[in-house]
Amino acid sequence: MQVRDNFEIKNLTTFKIGGRVKKLYLPETLEEFTGLLRELDNYMVLGSCSDVLFSSSGYSGNVIITTEMKNFDIKGTRVYADCGVKDPLISQKVCDVSLSGLEFLIGLPGTIGGAVYMNAGAHGQCIADVLVSCCLFDKQTKEVVFKQNNEMDFSYRHSILHEGRYILLSAEFELKKQEQEKIKELMDRNLTFRKTIQPSLAFPNAGSVFKNPENDSAGRLLDKAGVKNFDLQNVKVWDKHANFIINKGGAASLDVLELMVKMYNAVKDMYTIELVPEIIYIGDKSEKEEELCNILYKTKTQK
Ligand SMILES: Cc1cc2nc3c(=O)[nH]c(=O)nc-3n(C[C@H](O)[C@H](O)[C@H](O)COP(=O)(O)OP(=O)(O)OC[C@H]3O[C@@H](n4cnc5c(N)ncnc54)[C@H](O)[C@@H]3O)c2cc1C
């Protein structure tokens, strides 16, 4: 397994933001992974780092990156995937054998671990619709346990993994047989749609900044509140969709938090709605970052 000391995590995050972490581990098998989870005390687990704002102050603990664990298996309509399998890859592989249900993952730059954590979704589909069961590491007992879909506490962008007790090792999905042409058509439509409403990773970003409030769209509210012209020195709101922040180059986590608070306040002032961040803030915080996180994240941020 590869291990890196004092690693600059911005080299891995889609935001291109994040300071140094004490030690970075890249396990290649689930055995290596569970071995680390049993051995280390102070760690966080990440996949493709596409949903996180990693502190520019870094993280004084260990980071385990799952992307080298890439096993998957397809038997009939049942699909098994390690936590590190990339979302677009599994989407394509199941399409190749005419299975429908994971078309929405084609444009998500994440892993199965991050997708289950977030109950990722798009285009009317989400993980909870197709997940059968999960194989998890229980941090309390240090044992491997299994949970069925109805034990995963899934809701919009939420799963039991948010509680911090469990780490996803692998997941099983049940898909439906479908004509391949129809699956391909849907995937193409999803990709085309994304091109019009989401920035590519050529513009470093971490996806939607805020979650949609019930029966509304964060993008719509932000647009009406006039945030599209918010442009700070190193970060700006994407001019084609108000719920994305772009790192213009050289941005620090504090720059993003400052812009997020401006966006949050604009919507709060106009609609008295308090948007909830979708992007997860992680790592050690400066005093100023702590203050801004307290405004944005009413529930605790990770670490
Ligand atoms: C351009 C762009 C578009 C996006 N579009 C969408 C979209 O349409 N829909 C959507 O839902 N998301 C979207 N995202 C967000 C993101 O890509 C997905 O949520 C993705 O599934 C996260 O996976 P990841 O591997 O990058 O997770 P990471 O960012 O690495 O981690 C996210 C969280 O998951 C936890 N985690 C990761 N792996 C594990 C594991 N094995 N066990 C326990 N916890 C784990 C981490 O600790 C962290 O808290 C988008 C992001 C970008 C940059």
pLDDT tens for residues 113-130? 999 999 999 888 999 999
240 pLDDT above the threshold of 80: yes
> 225 in ligand 1 pocket by Cβ < 6 Å?
no
Alpha carbons 246 and 202: distance in angstroms, whole number: 10
> 254 in ligand 1 pocket by Cβ < 6 Å?
no
| pTM given for the model | 0.95
Tell me which residues are annotated as active site. Answer: 157, 208, 278
State residue 303's pLDDT score: 41
**Architecture of 218-296 per CATH?**
Alpha-Beta Complex (3.90)
302 pLDDT above the threshold of 60: no
Residue 11, classed as helix, strand or coil, is helix
Query: What is the distance in A from the centroid of ligand 1 to the CA of 208?
Result: 11
In this prediction, residue 299 has a pLDDT band, given cuts at 50, 70 and 90, of low
Query: What is the distance in A from the centroid of ligand 1 to the CA of 51?
Result: 4
**Architecture of 2-65 per CATH?**
2-Layer Sandwich (3.30)
9 pLDDT above the threshold of 70: yes
Q: If you average pLDDT over residues 133-162, what whole number do you get?
A: 96
Q: If you average pLDDT over residues 244-262, what whole number do you get?
A: 96
> 90 in ligand 1 pocket by Cβ < 6 Å?
no
State residue 25's pLDDT score: 98
List the one residue out of 119, 278, 123 whose CA is nearest residue 191: 123
Percent of the chain at pLDDT above 90?
91
Give residue limits of the domains in the chain: 2-65, 72-196, 218-296
> 46 in ligand 1 pocket by Cβ < 6 Å?
yes
Helix residue ranges per DSSP H, the chain: 30-39, 87-96, 112-118, 127-130, 180-197, 218-224, 253-271, 287-296
List the one residue out of 10, 94, 103, 24 whose CA is nearest residue 66: 24
Query: What is the distance in A from the centroid of ligand 1 to the CA of 62?
Result: 19
Q: What is the average pLDDT value for the chain, to the nearest integer?
A: 95
State residue 238's pLDDT score: 95
What topology does CATH give the domain 72-196? 3.30.465
261-265 contacts at long range (C-beta below 8 A, 24 or more positions apart): 261/292, 261/295, 261/296, 262/227, 262/230, 263/209, 263/210, 263/222, 263/225, 263/227, 263/230, 263/237, 264/210, 264/295, 264/296
